Structure 1
Amino acid sequence: MTFRFDFGPEGAAKEGYTKVSADEAYDSSRGYGFVGGEQVTAVRRNDEPLTGDFCIPFDAKFIVDVPNGNYLVTLVIGDAIAPTHTTLKTNREHLVLRDFKTVTGQYARKQFGVNVRDGKLKLSFGGIAPRMNSLEIAPSQQQITLFLAGDSTVTDPDEGGFPFSGWGQMLSYFFRHDVVVANHAIGGRSSKSFITEGRLDAIMEAMKEGDFLFIQFGHNDQKSDEERFTDPATTYKDYLKKYIDAARTKNATPVLVTSVHRRYFGDDGKLQDTHKDYLVAVRQLAADEGVALIDLAEKSRRLFEELGPEATKSIFLWGAPGEWINLSNGVQDNTHFQENGGLRIAELVAEGIRELNLSPLPIFMK
């Protein structure tokens, strides 16, 4: 089933579309509506179908109940008499539009892919002049799904978890609508515990031929508890190979990713390697199994050393007291990222995809 919405003041909708006004809060019986819509307003500029009126969703979410799966989403943004400025995140805070602008009288038709796993498709709006003219949500079996298995450096944030970000949250920003990112990474997991909790099984239930599985672990494989610890020379490789074998059984493509570095500098200004043999193990396994490798450790080392100890605070989850509303006492975290950092690391992953020519992904990148 395809969902079509026409936004603006109450009145007739274009044929085949459902009219949505500013005061339509989400209602489960209706199956759609705004959340946090106290500042949502509706405006009509003219009588043009779809483009002549719109809603202005300041810091609001628009939610639609849909079956789980992948969707092609088409959003029309524009205003007859004013420029617009919209930032948009989809399910699990995946960034798809960042400071997107239209000029007066311009109407942009933006398409992107969304993976739904909780029965709700969510659009979270920001920007100083956001607009929603019309929205179409169509189920899709044709998109490539890029699955992510990993830890907290990859994961999506919890709702309201700003400014925390994993690089997986930001990866959608680098793809057109032909590729959907399904981020199954979760904090605190190792290559071992991710499997024992059934998380790889959940990926495999959804995976199809032609999909990709990106695998980044190591941070928690170093932990001493039995549930997570793996030895880099033996069990770490053994567990990583399970991901490779699983993807190959579905005729999907596995991609190994070395652990992104932590922010620890020596007196000489060089980055300290806290992963050591775990990085060696991933590189060796990739060579032995003929698996594509994105050496995110090396890429992040170069980036962090170029920036230096002070500037890398803008990558990691650092903030003074009062700087972040959700971390009002301040924070100094040398492992996890803020949104700017998640975007920078995702950019390195995207760079690796292009360098390896992981066909057909590069042709679907922005």
Structure 2
Amino acid sequence: MTPSYRFDFGQGSPQEGYTKIEPDTVHDPSVGYGFGETSRINARDRGGEPLRRDFCIPLDASFVVDVPDGTYHVTVLMGDELAATETTIKAGEGRLMLHKLRTQPGYFARVSFAVWVTGGRLLLSFTGRAPRVNAMEIRPSSSACTIFLAGDSTVTDQPADGYPYAGWGQMLPQFVKADAAVANYALSGRSSKSFIREGHLDAIWSRMKPWDYLLIQFGHNDQKYGEERYTEPFTTYKETLKIYLDGARERQAFPILVTPVERRFFEEDGTLRDTHGNYLTAVRELAEEEKVPLLDLAARSRELYERLGPEGSKSLFMWLAPGEFLNFPDGTEDNTHFQEQGAIQIAKLAADGLKELRIQPLNLYLK
């Protein structure tokens, strides 16, 4: 039986029915939970109501719970009787669940979200100017809808040591309600063909259940010549994408085609240069032919970049000055990949586009 947990963070005796987590509670494999590292964790007890009276202050800290792979419903209580707070929570490899949630003194927020767990570890990372965690409940949620993502580096979960590098799929969970979890299987450098050949689509099929969704965004690497990745837009590209559509339908799940996000290349007149060409036409044709919903991120991202202009749009991408970010001391100039703030904006475009498609019951799962 998959376990459930109720944690009371802070100092002193735990609330009845809860396990106490103090600032020095380090993850112990024998008990299966705890902080990954405790040097920057403090605690306070303000007195007053149970659970709200005390809390931990997890500055750039992670809390780990060993659980079987699956979907989990997580509810976190955050706040402080005396001080304003600001907390960001990421799950796993940087998936944004909660972004800069603020509470005023004396007010508390109870926030729920669903987390897709692989590798037997539910990991929640806390950041923010004044983060708090008062209490947490974790329970399995096998019936939750899963939104699977298949795609490339513009979608994938980028590792923490590459911050601020991020994919839009990594930021999508914050726009999804607690009834659904985002399972991001996208990987850097993959085309629609290499993703299948390497077995990643089989991994999705092994976990997919009826009434789940599959978002499919390829094209950036399908353009790259070479036997491993290249597909021709109107033949092998469409044929390969159809494998995704047919596989989802066979499992009574719902595929959604996604046009690849645009790269940041401007013409002299300030309009965006099209670098995907016939791949965009092919995806749009396939959606029409197969009667599959189309999320046109190419059109939506084009509008965003042109609105921001050649200079303003740099803030979305990995245009980093030397010394601006620790992980990129020499800076970088990248017109394809997003920094976190850009990935958040693209994820919002994706969520807004999905809502406009009015797909049921998917619409019910979107904030």
TM-based fold match above 0.5 = yes
- Equivalenced residues, count: 365
For 2:361 and 2:136, the matched residues in 1 are separated by: 28
Letter in 2 for 1:7: F
| Structure-to-structure mapping, 1:212-291, within 5 angstroms | 212-291=213-292
Structure 1 residue 239: Cα displacement = 0.6
Structure 1 residue 277: Cα displacement = 0.6
Structure 1 residue 47: Cα displacement = 5.0
SS of 1:332's equivalent?
A: strand
| Structure-to-structure mapping, 1:297-308, within 5 angstroms | 297-308=298-309
Structure 1 residue 306: Cα displacement = 0.9
Using structure 2 for the length normalisation, give the TM-score. Answer: 0.98
Structure 1 residue 80: Cα displacement = 1.6
Q: Which runs of 5+ in 1 are unaligned?
A: none
For 1:287 and 1:364, the matched residues in 2 are separated by: 25
Using structure 1 for the length normalisation, give the TM-score. Answer: 0.98
Identity of counterpart residues, as a percentage? 55
Q: Which residue of 1 aligns with 2:366?
A: 365
SS of 1:313's equivalent?
A: helix
For 1:336 and 1:351, the matched residues in 2 are separated by: 21
CA offset digits 1:223-262 (Å, max 9, x no partner):
1110101111100001100000010011111000001000
Letter in 1 for 2:159: D
SS of 2:202's equivalent?
A: helix
| Structure-to-structure mapping, 1:139-154, within 5 angstroms | 139-154=140-155
CA offset digits 1:320-356 (Å, max 9, x no partner):
1101110110100000000011011111111111110
| Structure-to-structure mapping, 1:1-366, within 5 angstroms | 1-9=3-11, 11-366=12-367
SS of 1:234's equivalent?
A: helix
Structure 1 residue 272: Cα displacement = 0.7
Letter in 2 for 1:2: S
For 1:105 and 1:264, the matched residues in 2 are separated by: 49
Letter in 2 for 1:268: D
Letter in 1 for 2:126: F
CA offset digits 1:7-48 (Å, max 9, x no partner):
112x32122211110011222223111124311011111153
For 1:334 and 1:352, the matched residues in 2 are separated by: 23
Q: Which runs of 5+ in 2 are unaligned?
A: none
8 Å contact 1:21–1:55 — kept in the other structure? Answer: yes
CA offset digits 1:86-107 (Å, max 9, x no partner):
1111122111211111111112
For 2:49 and 2:299, the matched residues in 1 are separated by: 53
For 1:154 and 1:358, the matched residues in 2 are separated by: 21
SS of 1:180's equivalent?
A: strand
For 1:319 and 1:83, the matched residues in 2 are separated by: 31
For 1:265 and 1:47, the matched residues in 2 are separated by: 58
8 Å contact 1:37–1:58 — kept in the other structure? Answer: no
Comparing 83-92 with 323-332, greater Cα deviation is found at 83-92
SS of 2:112's equivalent?
A: strand
Structure 1 residue 361: Cα displacement = 2.1
SS of 2:233's equivalent?
A: coil
For 2:145 and 2:93, the matched residues in 1 are separated by: 18
